[in-house]
Amino acid sequence: MTLWKLSAGTASVIGIKRIKSAALPRTAYIMLGETCRNHCSFCSQAAGSQGKRDFLSRISWHECSAREAVPPLAQAYAEGGIKRICLQVVDGENTRETTLEALKQLQAGGIGAICVSRNLQTAGQVHELLASGAEKICIAMDAAAPDIYRRVKVDSWESKWKLLMECARLFPGRISTHLIIGLGETEEQAVEFIADCTQRGITVGLFAFTPLAGTPLAAAQPPAIGQYRRVQIAHFLLRKGYEREVIRCAGGRIVDIAVPGICSLLLDGSAFETTGCPDCNRPYYNERPGGTMYNYPRPLTAAETEQAIGESGLGGEQRGLAYY
């Protein structure tokens, strides 16, 4: 019997574990499988990692059977407490069968909005998952450019990028990817990556690099908050359909945003909320409670929005909102 691992927040929302949290997930995160055969140097599940196996990013996971998990997940989905399921599949033994079985069990519970994030090689594999009930498929690039990719992962950027582009064409609106900020890419490389994806209808989930004990990147630093805020603002504008050219870069850094009235666009704070598939809010994936809030899992207060805009540093440290 394959055991599922529910993120601690997910287990709490569906009532099988109690945790104290200022923000709960709107998406149920379920990890399938263990002992990944890949070597992503930022991941505690990677082959060779000495990190805790019951962690993925900053999140701990609660093990249970599908039989135990599906009824409360189905109830939470029917009542609206959970709006989506994200299957995060570790690339180990029997990955295909495990994923297809999970899709079957979730659909039997009446759950329709399901994402699958899995290491895939062919458009045929993507098609099989979509035809088996997945609503969206995540082909996680993680790194913004080939040189970064080669440093933190071992497979080929070129073949993964080609697959992402092919699937975006074949399955419009149903493909997403992940981008981790802080792996050594420039802000300009991140903007190019996001623009290339959004132009093709690929949803981008932004993550902040999080150093994890036991991984090769354990001693590396997370991104500066100003860098992350600038990329969030660029991502927000590209999602809204602005041309890539309005985001002006110099020396690899975003230095200016050529959008008149951008202040009013940013004031609802949504640029700084978690991005990715609809209703994916990933509370505390990258953040320590009380620490730097890279991705807000909920709407921001006016003060938080003002702070986030100020942190972007666009227009000069002193000018803050006046810049806009």
- 49/176 with CB nearer ligand SF4: 176
What is the Cα–Cα distance from 119 to 122, expressed in whole angstroms?
A: 10
Smallest gap from Cβ 56 to ligand SF4, in A, equals 10
Q: Give least dist CB 119 to ligand SF4, A.
A: 13
> CB of residue 148 vs ligand SF4: minimum separation in angstroms?
19
Residue whose CB is nearest to ligand SF4 in the complex, by number: 276
- Residue (179 or 257) nearer to ligand SF4, CB: 179
Q: Tell me the torsion sign for CA atoms 305, 228, 118, 219.
A: negative
CB 285 within 8 A of CB 57: yes
Q: Using CA atoms, how far apart are residues 211 and 219, in angstroms rounded to an integer?
A: 7
Which one, 210 or 257, has the nearer CB to ligand SF4?
210
Residue 49 or 281: the one with the smaller Cβ distance to ligand SF4 is 281
CB of residue 32 to ligand SF4, shortest distance in Å: 13
Q: Three-state DSSP class for 194?
A: helix
Phi-psi region of 229 (alpha: psi -120 to 50; beta: other; left: phi over 0): alpha
Least spacing, CB of residue 217 vs ligand SF4, in Å: 20
N- to C-terminal Cα separation, the chain? 57
> Could you tell me which residues come within 8 angstroms of residue 324 by beta carbon, excluding any fewer than 6 positions away?
261, 262, 263, 266, 309, 315
Residues in contact with ligand SF4 by CB under 6 A are 27, 84, 86, 115, 117, 138, 176, 178, 205, 276-277, 280
- DSSP-derived secondary structure letter, 256: E
Q: In sequence order, what are the beta bridge partners of 247?
A: 257
DSSP-assigned letter for residue 35: S
Q: Which C-beta is closer to ligand SF4: that of 62 or that of 313?
A: 62
Nearer to ligand SF4, 69 or 138 (CB): 138
Distance of closest approach, residue 264 Cβ to ligand SF4, in angstroms: 27
